[in-house]
Amino acid sequence: MSLDLDGLALAPELADVMQRLSIVGARLQRLIARNGIDQDLAAARGTNAGGDGQKALDVMADAAYMEALKGSAVAFYASEEEDEILTLGPGTLALAVDPLDGSSNIDVNVSIGTIFSIFPAAATPEASFLRPAREQIAGGYMIFGPQCALVATFGDGVHHWILDPDTGRFERQPDFAPIPKDTSEFAINASNKRHWPAPIRAYVDDLIAGEEGPRGRNFNMRWIASLVAETHRILRRGGVFLYPGDSRKGYERGRLRHVYECAPIAFVIEQAGGRATDGVHPILDQAPDSLHARTPFVFGTAPKVKRIAHYYDSPETAAVMPDEHLMP
C-alpha cells in the first residue's frame, strides 16, 4: 500500500481508487524531479477541449491516471485533457481529474499538482458529473513541490499525507485544522484588473488602499498561478483566492473549470471551515451544464468570502461591515 488509509473506514472500492491515484502521484513527482534530464516536460503538444495549449506533462499525466484506473471501480473518467467522458468499464464510481494543474509553472520549477473529484456513478456518464457538487463523495489534490503532499476529504474533515521519497509511501499527517480566520493575504491575477466586474475591483481597491482606506489596515498579495499551491497556502495560513469572470472574450465565467477544479477544491475548503463561491453563491450547490464549463471562483477564509459577496449585494457597507457580522 502506498497510502496509509488506516482508520478512515473507506469503502474498499474508494480506498483502492485512492491507492491508485497516490501511486500515479508518486510517479509524477519523480518524473517532475527529472524534468530536463530525460526530457522536456513543458514541451508544447496539442490543444485540449477547453482550448488550452497542452504541455507534454499534461498529456502524460492524463494517460497515467486513465491507465491506472482501468480495472478499478471507476466506470466513468472525465479529464481536463479529454474532450468527452471515457467509460473505463463497469463500476460504481465516476472520477473527474485535472491531471496537471498549474501547467504554466512546469518549466519554472514551481509547485504544480493534480486535482480530483469522485462521485457515485449515475445511470449515464453525463449524469455522473453534471450534478450538484455537494454530491461528491471525495475531493482533493496532490501537490508536486518541495514536498509531494496529498490532501483529501471524504466529507468528514480534511486529511493530509506527505510522500516519503525514500519509501514511496504517503505518510499520514494530522488533519487540517480549520482555516485560520485572522489573515491579511489575498490572491488574484491583478494584471486583469481592467477587465474585472465592479464589485471585485472595489474589493481589491479597498484592500490595496491599506491603512489609509476604508478597511483601515494593510493587506498582502500572492499569485502563484497554480490553484493547488494557492489552496495549500490558504489551508495553512488562511486568506482568499479570486478568479472572477471578466470582460475578456471567453473569460465571462472566469478561467477555472467547475467539474475538475472548483468542485473538489470547494469540497476541501468547506470541510476545513472555509467558504467557496462564484462570488455570491456556494459552488457546492451548483451543477455545471457541461463537462468543461467554467465558473467564477472565490474561496478561503469564510468571513473574507462573505465580505466579497457583500460587495455584490450591498456595496455601500461591504468595506465597513465588522468581521463579527461575517462569521459563520
Q: From residue 295, how far is each of 39, 89, 240, 246, 277 by CA, in Å? A: 34, 30, 16, 11, 9
Residue nearest to Mg ion (CB): 101
| Closest residue by Cα to residue 72 from 11, 131, 128, 25 | 11
Task: Output the smallest distance, CB 100 to ligand FBP, in A.
Answer: 6
Q: Are strands 185-187 and 275-277 parallel, antiparallel or unpaired?
A: unpaired
Residue of 16, 80, 246, 270 that binds Mg ion (CB under 5 A): 80
Quickly tell me which residue has 478561503 as its cell.
300
**63-71, 98-106, 203-211, 264-272 -> range binding ligand FBP (CB under 6 A):** 98-106
Q: Which does 189 bind (CB under 5 to 8 A by kind): ligand FBP, Mg ion, none?
A: ligand FBP
Please tell me whether residue 226 binds ligand FBP under the rule CB under 6 A: yes
Q: Which does 19 bind (CB under 5 to 8 A by kind): ligand FBP, Mg ion, none?
A: none
Mask of contacts with ligand FBP, 25-64, x by CB under 6 A?
A: ---------------------------x------------
Mask of contacts with Mg ion, 22-61, x by CB under 5 A?
A: ----------------------------------------
**38-46, 97-105, 136-144, 178-186 -> range binding ligand FBP (CB under 6 A):** 97-105
Please tell me whether residue 268 binds ligand FBP under the rule CB under 6 A: no
Give, as ranges, the residues between 158 and 197 that touch ligand FBP (CB under 6 A).
189
Exposure class string for 79-116: b at 16+ Cβ within 10 A, else e: bbbbeebbebeebebbbbbbbbbbbebbeeeebbbbbb
Nearer to Mg ion, 230 or 261 (CB): 261
Residue of 16, 62, 101, 206 that binds Mg ion (CB under 5 A): 101
Cα–Cα distance, 104 to 189 (Å, whole number): 14
Nearer to Mg ion, 100 or 204 (CB): 100
Please tell me whether residue 253 binds ligand FBP under the rule CB under 6 A: no
Task: Output the smallest distance, CB 243 to ligand FBP, in A.
Answer: 6
Task: Output the smallest distance, CB 47 to ligand FBP, in A.
Answer: 12
Packed helices 302-313 and 198-208: angle between N→C axes, nearest 10 degrees: 130
Residue of 2, 72, 103, 183 that binds ligand FBP (CB under 6 A): 103
Reading the block at residue 227, the C-alpha cell is 490553484
Cα–Cα distance, 216 to 164 (Å, whole number): 44
Residue of 20, 160, 215, 255 that binds ligand FBP (CB under 6 A): 255
Residue nearest to ligand FBP (CB): 227
Please tell me whether residue 101 binds ligand FBP under the rule CB under 6 A: yes
| Closest residue by Cα to residue 241 from 249, 231, 250, 252 | 231
Nearer to Mg ion, 101 or 270 (CB): 101
Quickly tell me which residue has 473505463 as its cell.
88
> How many residues are given for the chain?
328
Please report the DSSP string for 141-187 in residue order: EEEESSSEEEEEESSSSEEEEEEETTTTEEEEEPPPPPPPSS--EEE
72 is in an annotated binding site: no
* 253 three-class SS: coil
- Indicate the DSSP class of residue 106: G
Please tell me whether residue 98 binds Mg ion under the rule CB under 5 A: yes
Do 242 and 206 form a contact (C-beta atoms < 8 A)?
A: no
Please tell me whether residue 225 binds ligand FBP under the rule CB under 6 A: yes
Q: Which does 173 bind (CB under 5 to 8 A by kind): ligand FBP, Mg ion, none?
A: none
Give how far the C-alpha of residue 124 lies from the chain's centroid of Cα atoms, to the nearest Å: 25
Cα–Cα distance, 82 to 294 (Å, whole number): 16
Task: Output the smallest distance, CB 323 to Mg ion, in A.
Answer: 31
